[in-house]
Amino acid sequence: MGTMANTLILAYVGGAIPFLLLLMHNQIHWLRIVNMDFMAAEILSGIAGTLGLVVAIPITALSVALLPEKLSNLSMPLPFCS
């Protein structure tokens, strides 16, 4: 789960790098860059995506663990259940 969250955050940072390089090239102070709405949106996107992963992975694992038990109670056999 940690690897996926890191990949997600690095993807957001990678998308922001060209814009950040442009701002740094124009010699805008780094404190002004950090306080921009664009940076806040990128940070919030990373946090929301990470929280989505943290919530979705356990729910998926739980549903996969309970699914064969529910399907074994069906009257017709399924090809993947033995």
Q: pTM for the full model?
A: 0.58
Q: What is the pLDDT of residue 58?
A: 87
pLDDT tens digits, 52-71:
888 888 888 888 888 776 66
- Whether 78 is covered by a domain: the verdict is no
Does 79 reside within a domain?
no
Q: 52 is in which domain, residue-wise? A: 2-72
What is the DSSP secondary-structure string of the chain?
Answer: -HHHHHHHHHHHHHHHHHHHHHHHHTT--HHHHHTSHHHHHHHHHHHHHHHHHHHHHHHHHHHHHHHHHHHHTSSSPPTT--
Q: pLDDT at residue 76 above 70?
A: no
* CA-to-CA dists, residue 18 to 24, 35, 47, angstroms: 10, 17, 21
Predicted confidence at residue 71, as pLDDT, reads 65
- Total domains in the chain come to 1
12 inside domain: yes
pLDDT in tens, 29-48: 888 887 888 888 888 887 88
Residue 58 CA to residue 16 CA, distance in Å, equals 30
Give helix 2-25 / helix 37-72 axis angle, nearest 10°: 160
- End-to-end Cα spacing for the chain: 30
